[in-house]
Structure 1
Amino acid sequence: MAALDFGALVLLSIAALLFLLLQSWLAATVVRRVVGVPTGWPRTIGVGLVMSAVMAVTVQYLYRAGSGQNPGGLEVAPGVALMLLLLATGWIFALGVGALVVIEAAFPTGSLPGPQSLFFGWKARRRRGRRYAEVVSIAVRHGLGSQIRGFGRGAAPRREAKTARALKDSLAEAGVTFVKLGQMLSTRRDVLPPSYIHELETLQTQVSPEPWSVIEPAIEERLSQPLDNVFSRIDATPLAAASVAQVHEATLLDGTDVIVKVQRPKALNQVNQDLDIILRLASWLNKTTVWGQNLGIENLAKGFANSLEEELDYRIELDNMRTIEQTLSRSGKFSVTVPHGYPEFSSERLLIMDKLPGHPVSSAGKTLAELSAKERKALATTLLGATLEQIITDGVFHADLHSGNIFIMPDGGLGLLDFGAVGRLDPGTQTALGLMLYSIDQNDSAGATDSLIELLGRPENLDDRAVERAVGELLTRYGGGSRSANGQKLFDDLFNLVLAHRFSVPAPISAAFRALASVEGALLVIDPSFDVVAVARHEGNRLMRSKLKSTKITDEFQRRAMQILPMIDRLPRRLNKITEDLEQGRFSMNMRVLENTSDRRFLTSLFQQLIVAVLAGAAVLGSIMLITSEQGPLLTEGIHLYAFFGFVLLFGGFVLSMRSLMLVFKRGVDG
């Protein structure tokens, strides 16, 4: 018998719990519908549970009040108790709506971790929290904390320089990922002031190499076989060590000298953790600061994260090497060596490629000194020509051509290294960039201006004549291929012109300008007397003439003609109809102002919000008038019937006000 009683109690408890959950779910569903915007289910169910609990207590109290079982408390007639219960139900619901609005306004849906995160991933969150606190403390220690809100608001030059130094020092101390972020930002002269660019360009990583006891098992793991099966020799002392990877010399079993580029075992986890912090900081700054929104800092962070993830995948670098090697061999005009990669031995975290003989330009002073002036000029011409060929003709180019990545070979040739950063341009962009260089060579300021606008797009309030005059001054300065006396450079000046007229520079085009500007520095190391402007003009002219061969022009005309043939077929009939309508006075024009669906949706939501706000205000004013009125019959001692109706009306006004507020909050987030 006791067992049956216990079983019945368990079943009754389960039924009560299920009923409570069903009641809470129904309440939460109604609340979501009344609020008018989707809110997170966990918080809505939580509000529903609280509403159910309060409702249960209220029902019990009013039942006792209406049945004479509430000594010393409220005692009313059963009908009045029922009316008060209905009013209390409405207000419990209204307060639930208000609570949900307040929670949603303070912590929008998606801004907090889900319930499952309370039980899973807490170790990762703890590590991230420690790292986050460390990064923030570094920034505050260097004085960036007080600059966050006012950054980019036209600060005095002295203060701006101080903030730039603090930013550089903070990034350098924060570690490899933040150093790479600073190096990326140093190339974006279109988004940062010159003082920041100057400071960030000096960022370098100083790291110690990993011991061979750590690197050897990492190489074997990524080779999936012992080192003796692949190499006859591998040097335990690294040739170079960077923050993410280090490089070792080795010899394959067939006697080929190779370079082994291996990623540090713990580098990927650290980079991923720091990228998560960078993305979160960028999202916060984008929401809380004006300068963050103006710079598009969230998009910058996402672009940096994508490029760094690609850089950490050596399969992509291997593919980039093969692509550049194919483009250079297809041209056949320039003798530039790209190391051969070994995909059978390489992987996502390991890259094996041929070792290039010679020295990088940055440390090849002795080799260059032994070359004649003619040989040095030929080397510089080859480097610039190959770079322009990649950008204008092929659309795939080495995007990091600084002096350390360009090798002077023993035979007097050139070699390229480090293909982690490769730019890609679509055919239209290639043509626009080539036409701009062609127009510069022809001293055609109007053509160069049109090509520049086609390349970058037209910014708002652009003064075409001012741009054309600035381009004309640039052509005059570099006319005849002579460099200006103050040492300014063609590509630097061209990029400064772009920035001065507030053009928006897409990332691929920015990479092309950066490649040209960086290779210009390497060219002047190879040959200090090299005429960069004259050769760039000559090569740009040659490449565009090559692209515009008669066969290609004919093909292009045929392709365009095929596209407009249907329009030409219908043109006579349309012209005939227009002239007849004009002659007989039937010509009319029809224009639909709100044809776009998004425009109609915006106006509809705006009017809905306005109507809800007006109704809410009217209901609240009417309820106040009824509540303060002492007229009408009494429900109980001290409670007038009109006051009861006032509280009912106030309930409606309160709910409408909460809905209006939620629509305002959501419009602010979405807009």
Structure 2
Amino acid sequence: MPDLLAFFGPIFNALLVALFARRALGVPVGWPRSIVMGLFMGAAVSWAVGHFGELTGSFVDGEVVVPLGTLFVILSLIAAWVFVIGLIVLVLLEVFVPTGTLPSPMTFLRGWKARRRRGRRYTQVIRIAAKHGLSGYLGGRRRSFEGQAKVARSLRDALNEGGVTFVKLGQTLSTRRDLIPEVFADQLASLQTRATPEPWTQIEQAIEQELGRPLAEVFASVEPEPLAAASVAQVHAAHLLDGTPVVLKVQRPGARKQVTSDVEIILRLARWLERATLWGRSLRVTRLAEGFAASLEEELDYTVELDNLRGVAATLDGGVDVPAAYERHSTSRLLVMERLEGTPVGSAGALLAAMPAQARKALAHRLLSEILRQLIRTGVFHADLHPGNILITGDGGLGLLDFGSVGRLDQATRNALGMLLLAIDKNDAIAATDALIEMLDRPEGLAERELERELGQLMVRYRTGLGRGGSSGMFASLFGLVHAHGFAVPPQIAAAFRALAALDGTLGLISPDLDVVEAAREQGREMMREATAPEAVRADLESRLAGYLPVLQRLPRRINKLAEDLEQGRITVNVRSLSDQRDRSYLTGLVQQVVVAILAAAATLGAIVLMAADTGPMITPSLRLFALVGCALLLVGFVLALRSLALVFRRP
């Protein structure tokens, strides 16, 4: 029993001291450091009692020479001062190493293997960057991108060597031409995610694990050789038990684990770059990395792609086909879809060459019309329209594949986008500027006249055709324009422009002589004409008036009451200052800090006066009463001052 008391007694005292320390400072100081400081205080008190007892004359040759009451006061004061010294250490720790910046001991022990694995991967990433000459930009030593073409190629090669997550990061950045220079976007757009196929035995095991039963109970056959293999997933042809041809999109084993680890490294690098480099802060790389992490998390969850597939399929009007999904066999890592027979546009050179020019142009017009209808009328659109995702079916129709990236636009944004296309068609720079502001929100300090003039010049440049760079050049110029004027492009609107820019290359393969800008003008003009037709406007007004009808019915009575109150002088204006709880909390906290600081200063000054006094009764041969009271008062002043400092340096 005495051994247990000897062991648990100091621990209990440390917990008690830690509790008092947290309460005294008024901030949530971490428990581990508080307990360690409590153990230190317990050890320091026993030493301080004997040492300072002799200095104050309380002990002489180990014997107590003062009354017990006085001894108790002196010892309590000594213990309190040791406590204050511990508080000082805790405040300094909170200033330089705030609670939460270091992992807890249990977290540190549990995550040791993960941190070691992440450290190796982090070292590998830094080594790849250094190999391609990018280490200077990571450290912030280089403040501008001299020789942009060379740096862009180095960045492309480094991302390609970094693996699937970094390749996808580069592909995502290539779509943000509003943020990165065009030369970087062009190089990053060439990144590919093709990979060596996974052995069929592992893929078969992964499929059966997702299905929860043997493969033969669901499929009559599955082709071991994949139709396509990327770094995250593989696509295999198969037949259901009833003979229906399908395709299986199955996630590679271990892909999610690797991507999750790499995303964490990307987020850490982004936070470091935003702190250490000017270009990182200007590009707001942390927000970019967080958006990329969120989109990649959705891409790894095939239930999201299944919802995207259903959303796009529900908006089609028959001009383009999408595969039907088999939900009962699909999971978060397995997607079973109908197999569309056809050839991707990127591989259909011979097929397109055999088609008449007029048929190819009609095919391109049909695809453009469908995508613009999705953007302007339905708001649900395919956002990854590269040639590999557009299929030319056996009967000369069109199909869409891969719905991992689907955008959604609200009604107001769709209207603004339609008005922008209509204004460009009419060469109306004023209306185009208004539509752009409505779509992107007005930035602070916008020079509207300058924006209007530059937008007008852009429309004149592309009025008679594609111009240099094609319609992708037009979208790149538009991105540069909105970025130069401080607009923040929301991700969904950036996805819409990205879809149009990618569609340009696909349409060029289908019909090289198609003027995409002119065709988009025609399609946009027709769609806006439908949207602004008298019947459509009347139906919209009727639906809005139906919602406002109760308000309109009460409006005459309210106007009459307002007029009577105004005539009889009953109208008053009641202004309540500090009605918001946040304002009251801020003011209350500010007043509390000021009061605590004043009390701390007053207690400290009073303590100094008392301790400096050379009069007053002696309670020990070498200690005056006023000095003892001054020490106690100084203790109060120190505690109040430490509490004030802890509140000042506290980080939410």
Counterpart pick for 1:499 among 483, 487, 490: 483
Runs of 5+ consecutive residues of structure 1 not aligned to the other structure: 1-9
Matching residue's letter, 1:191: L
- Structure 2 CA distance, aligned partners of 1:627 and 1:173? 71
Alignment of 1:361 with 2:345, yes or no, is: yes
> What is the Cα deviation at residue 186 of structure 1?
2.1
Partner of 2:79: 89
Work out the CA distance in 1 between the residues paired with 2:66 and 2:81.
Answer: 20
Give % identity: 48
User: Helix, strand or coil: the match of 1:112?
Assistant: coil
1:535 pairs, out of 519, 522, 533, with 519
Give the TM-score normalised by the residue count of structure 2.
0.87
Aligned to 2:191: 203
Instruction: Mark the CA change 1:145 to 1:29 in structure 2 (over 3 Å): closer, same or farther.
Output: farther
Bigger mean CA offset, 655-664 vs 190-199 = 190-199
Question: For 2:19, which of 4, 29, 34 is the aligned residue?
Answer: 29
Residues 381-411 of structure 1, C-alpha deviations (whole Å, 9 max, x = no match): 1111111111222211111111221122232
Q: Is the 8 A contact 1:66 1:81 kept in 2?
A: no
Q: Which residue is 1:448 aligned to?
A: 432
- Cα distance change on mapping 1:465 and 1:224 into 2, 3 Å: same
Query: Hey, what's the Cα distance between the residues in 2 that align with 1:566 and 1:138?
Result: 70
CA contact (8 A) 2:145 2:151 kept: no
Q: How does 1:401-412 map to 2 (within 5 A)?
A: 401-412=385-396
Counterpart Cα distance in 2 of 1:498 and 1:381: 28
Tell me which of 299, 313, 316 is aligned to 2:287.
299
Alignment CA distance shift 1:511-1:28 (3 Å): same
- The aligned amino acid for 1:441 is D
- d(CA) in 2 for partners of 1:617, 1:173: 61
Contact 1:65/1:75 (8 A) holds in 2: no
| 1:272 and 2:255 matched | no
- Of 539, 550, 555, the residue aligned with 1:568 is 555
Cα drift, residue 246 of structure 1 = 1.7
Q: How does 1:285-434 map to 2 (within 5 A)?
A: 285=273, 292=280, 295-328=283-316, 331-332=317-318, 334=319, 336-434=320-418
CA offsets, 1:462-507, max 9 Å, x none? 122223333333343444x633367464433333322221111111
Question: Of residues 107, 120, 138 in structure 1, which corresponds to 2:128?
Answer: 138
Report the secondary structure of 1:491's partner residue.
helix
Q: Of 175, 180, 184, which residue of structure 2 is paired with 1:192? A: 180
Alignment of structure 1 residues 472-491 onto 2, 5 Å: 472-479=456-463, 482-484=465-467, 487=470, 489-491=473-475
Moved more, 317-326 or 562-571: 562-571
- Please say if 1:600 is aligned against 2:584: yes
Q: Is residue 211 of structure 2 the alignment partner of residue 223 of structure 1?
A: yes
CA displacement at 1:378 relative to structure 2: 0.9
How far apart are the structure 2 equivalents of 1:567 and 1:287?
A: 57
SS at match of 1:202: coil
Where relative contact order (Cα < 8 A, 6+ residues apart) is larger, the structure is 2
Cα distance 1:148–1:157, how it changes in 2: closer, same or farther (>3 A)? Answer: closer
Equivalent residue number for residue 7 of structure 1: none
Q: Distance in 2 between matches of 1:136 and 1:80?
A: 65
More off after superposition, 466-475 vs 606-615: 606-615
Task: Please give the alpha-carbon distance, in whole angstroms, between the structure 2 residues aligned to 1:361 and 1:194.
Answer: 25
Structure 2 counterpart of 1:379, one-letter code: L
> For residues 447-466 of structure 1, what are the structure 2 equivalents within 5 Å?
447-466=431-450
1:110-149 to structure 2, matched below 5 A, reads 110-148=100-138
SS in 2 for 1:126: helix
2:545 aligned with 1:554: no
Contact 2:58-2:620 within 8 A present in 1 as well: no
Q: Deviations over 1:405-460 (max 9, x none)?
A: 11222322211111111111222222222232233334443333222222111111
Q: 1:578 & 1:289 partners in 2: Cα distance?
A: 62
Q: CA RMSD in A?
A: 3.5
1:242 counterpart = 2:225 = no
Distance in 2 (alpha carbons) for counterparts of 1:556 and 1:440: 30
- 1:179 partnered with 2:156: no
- Relative distance call for 1:183 and 1:448 in structure 2 (3 A) is same
1:71 alignment counterpart: 61
Structure 1 residues 529 and 638: alpha-carbon distance in aligned structure 2, compared to 1, 3 A threshold: farther
Residue by residue, what CA displacement relative to the aligned partner does 1:122-178 show, whole Å, maximum 9, x if unpaired? 433433333333334434554544433538x9x344166665555444433322112
TM-score, length of structure 1 as denominator length: 0.85
Query: One-letter code of the match for 1:106?
Result: F
Deviates more, 1:395-404 or 1:108-117: 108-117
Amino acid at match of 2:444: E
The whole-number CA distance in structure 2 between the counterparts of 1:365 and 1:601 is 68
Aligned length: 648
